[in-house]
């Protein structure tokens, strides 16, 4: 196994450990009772809404590639896009840069040319979640600090990305050591490409697509949470809880937001007057994470295996990414 594969196994094991810990916390027998009475057609509907999210984000990916004059067959592009999900359980989802590596291996496209697209995806995803979260904060007043912290991080990030002098200064600091100096020129090239993608026009349409995409997953969460007997989770509150806990997981910079996302989601479900006790909230959290994060990881692993069959030369994932 490569180092990348071993790390992936370790993160999956950590996810299992988190679920086990939450199960013990909620009392395994009571948790089992809640899940046993759960209507599984709702879980299937949540999976369908997750697929809507992925389809819309793939459409955005295709538009980004078109804007960058990158021509890739739709099937290969789709497999590469979904393969990125396998490494979404990395800090800040930076493992999704594997998509740029796969594009280089399959079609000879320099990583520095497409890596800005992957970063722009993360920026507009965070922006979309913040929009959804801010609407919820205005209506319910819950998770205000988390959403405002995310807004501050995004504002600072966009200010740096859109200001060439600030971006160059940041890169000089990051590449000041002998070990990182070799990344300076590729990072400057990446920053130039990313600056074009965070201009108001490009940022607006991409964030708009992301809002609709993430709203679909929020609705899936609302369906799961509201399917438990006695639970009262209005759609607006569900949108706020899902958006804010996803933001919290991203800001934690833990792989897949593990533990932070689960803990905050359970906490908000218990404290936000949803009618849920702790075992029910834990059950809703586990099912939601299975229908979103872990469903995406499973699809990513399948897509990566399929891609290896149709394009054998991309059969090995790298331990590090050379931006050339």
pLDDT band at 91 (very low <50, low <70, confident <90, very high): confident
- Total tally of structural domains belonging to the chain: 1
pLDDT of residue 236: 93
pLDDT tops 70 at residue 93: yes
pLDDT band at 192 (very low <50, low <70, confident <90, very high): confident
313 C-beta neighbours (distance < 10 Å), count:
8
**What is the DSSP secondary structure assignment for residue 294, as one 8-state letter?**
I
- Residue 270 lies in domain: 3-314
pLDDT band at 268 (very low <50, low <70, confident <90, very high): very high
pLDDT digits (tens, 9 = 90+) for 24-78: 777 788 888 999 889 999 999 999 999 999 999 999 999 999 999 999 999 999 9
Question: How far apart are alpha carbons 58 and 170 in whole angstroms?
Answer: 31
Question: How far apart are alpha carbons 196 and 287 in whole angstroms?
Answer: 39
User: Is residue 242 one of the residues assigned to a domain?
Assistant: yes
Give me the phi and psi of 254, to 5 degrees please.
-85, 155
User: Is residue 320 one of the residues assigned to a domain?
Assistant: no
**What is the DSSP secondary structure assignment for residue 275, as one 8-state letter?**
S
User: Is residue 60 one of the residues assigned to a domain?
Assistant: yes
User: Is residue 322 one of the residues assigned to a domain?
Assistant: no
Residue 166 token pair: 């600030």
User: Is residue 321 one of the residues assigned to a domain?
Assistant: no
Question: How far apart are alpha carbons 211 and 278 in whole angstroms?
Answer: 30
pLDDT band at 212 (very low <50, low <70, confident <90, very high): very high
Residue 202 token pair: 């490009």
pTM comes to 0.89
User: Is residue 319 one of the residues assigned to a domain?
Assistant: no
Name the average pLDDT for the chain: 88
DSSP letters, 129-158, are HHHHHHHHHHHH--SHHHHHHHHHHHHHHH
User: Is residue 178 one of the residues assigned to a domain?
Assistant: yes
pLDDT digits (tens, 9 = 90+) for 270-321: 988 788 999 999 999 999 999 999 999 999 999 998 988 877 566 444 444 4
Give which of 239, 305, 306 is closest to 272, Cα–Cα.
Answer: 239
User: Is residue 170 one of the residues assigned to a domain?
Assistant: yes
């Amino acid at each position: 196994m490569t180092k990348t594969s071993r790390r992936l196994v370790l993160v999956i094991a950590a996810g299992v450990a988190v679920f086990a810990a939450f199960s013990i916390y909620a009392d395994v027998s009571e948790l089992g009772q809640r899940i046993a009475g759960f209507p599984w057609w709702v879980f299937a509907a949540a999976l369908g809404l997750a697929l809507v999210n992925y389809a819309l984000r793939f459409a955005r990916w295709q538009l980004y590639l078109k804007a960058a004059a990158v021509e890739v067959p739709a099937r290969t592009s789709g497999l590469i896009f979904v393969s990125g999900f396998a490494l979404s359980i990395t800090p800040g989802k930076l493992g999704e840069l594997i998509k740029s590596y796969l594009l280089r291996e399959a079609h000879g496209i320099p990583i520095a040319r497409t890596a800005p697209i992957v970063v722009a995806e993360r920026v507009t995803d965070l922006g979309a979640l913040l929009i959804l979260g801010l609407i919820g904060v205005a209506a319910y007043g819950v998770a205000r600090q988390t959403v405002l912290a995310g807004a501050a991080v995004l504002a600072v990030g966009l200010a740096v990305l859109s200001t060439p002098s600030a971006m160059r200064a940041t890169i000089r600091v990051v590449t000041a050591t002998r070990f990182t100096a070799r990344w300076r020129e590729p990072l400057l090239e990446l920053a130039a490409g990313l600056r074009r993608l965070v201009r108001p026009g490009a940022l607006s349409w991409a964030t708009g697509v992301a809002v609709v995409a993430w709203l679909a997953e929020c609705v899936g969460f609302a369906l799961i949470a509201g399917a438990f007997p006695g639970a009262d989770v209005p759609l607006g509150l569900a949108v706020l809880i899902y958006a804010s806990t996803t933001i919290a997981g991203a800001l934690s910079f833990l792989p897949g937001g593990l533990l932070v996302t689960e803990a905050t989601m359970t906490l908000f479900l218990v404290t936000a007057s949803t009618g849920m006790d702790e075992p029910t909230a834990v059950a809703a959290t586990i099912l939601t994470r299975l229908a979103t994060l872990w469903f995406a990881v499973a699809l990513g692993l399948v897509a990566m295996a399929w891609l290896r069959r149709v394009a054998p030369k991309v059969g090995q994932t790298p331990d590090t990414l050379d931006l050339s």
